[in-house]
Amino acid sequence: MKLLCKKAWVGLILLVALSSGVFGWMLLSNTNGDSPRIITRENLRFGISKTVYTRGETVTFWIKNVGDKNISELIWEIDKKTADGWKPVFTPVTILVHGSVKPGEKVTWHWQQKANGETELVDPGVYRVVFFPHTENPVTLPFTIEKE
């Protein structure tokens, strides 16, 4: 009887261990294709080409309309992380230079690592693109600018 109980416990432990691994793998693999560089929120997909840039390298980011309606208002800015929190360093003059974003369309922006009204490059550090879609909370895509 004791041998039968030991076998049952061993079998139960083995079953739990195996199922945890399978469910854990399923949980990790079921991420809708999003990564730290791409975020999808309802009808919009936000992306940045990479998370580490060299000082002076163009920062490229985009939105794609994955919904079925035009998006006509989208505000964005570039913030820098400071000891006092996030501070805006670049805010474009227009809301959406492109006009409206039709379903399936992607709009790309290129930031030259210069603050508003400045001709010099920003300092190395941690930055983020902040999108302010009119229907949701802000979406942030962090990135780092390293020394040349």
Please give the tally of structural domains in the chain.
Answer: 2
Based on the fold, state whether residues 107 and 130 are members of the same structural domain.
yes
* Cα separation, 113 vs 45, whole angstroms: 23
Residues 90-113 have a mean pLDDT of 82
Based on the fold, state whether residues 4 and 67 are members of the same structural domain.
no
Based on the fold, state whether residues 1 and 62 are members of the same structural domain.
no
Based on the fold, state whether residues 55 and 102 are members of the same structural domain.
yes
Based on the fold, state whether residues 117 and 55 are members of the same structural domain.
yes
* Cα separation, 134 vs 131, whole angstroms: 9
Q: Any idea what the CATH number is for the domain that residue 58 is in?
A: 2.60.40.1930
Based on the fold, state whether residues 21 and 64 are members of the same structural domain.
no
Residues 43-48 have a mean pLDDT of 93
Select the highest-mean-pLDDT range: 23-27, 71-75, 139-143: 139-143
Asked if the model's pLDDT at residue 13 lies above 70, the reply is: no
Per-residue b or e along 118-141, where b marks 16 or more CB atoms closer than 10 Å to that residue's CB: eeeebeeeebbbbbebeeeeebeb
pLDDT at 42: 80
Domain extent at residue 10: 1-30
Based on the fold, state whether residues 110 and 48 are members of the same structural domain.
yes
Higher pLDDT, 114 or 21: 114
Higher pLDDT, 23 or 51: 51
Q: Mean pLDDT in the chain?
A: 77
Based on the fold, state whether residues 55 and 22 are members of the same structural domain.
no
- Confirm if 126 and 81 have CB atoms less than 8 A apart: yes
pLDDT at 36: 52
Based on the fold, state whether residues 15 and 84 are members of the same structural domain.
no
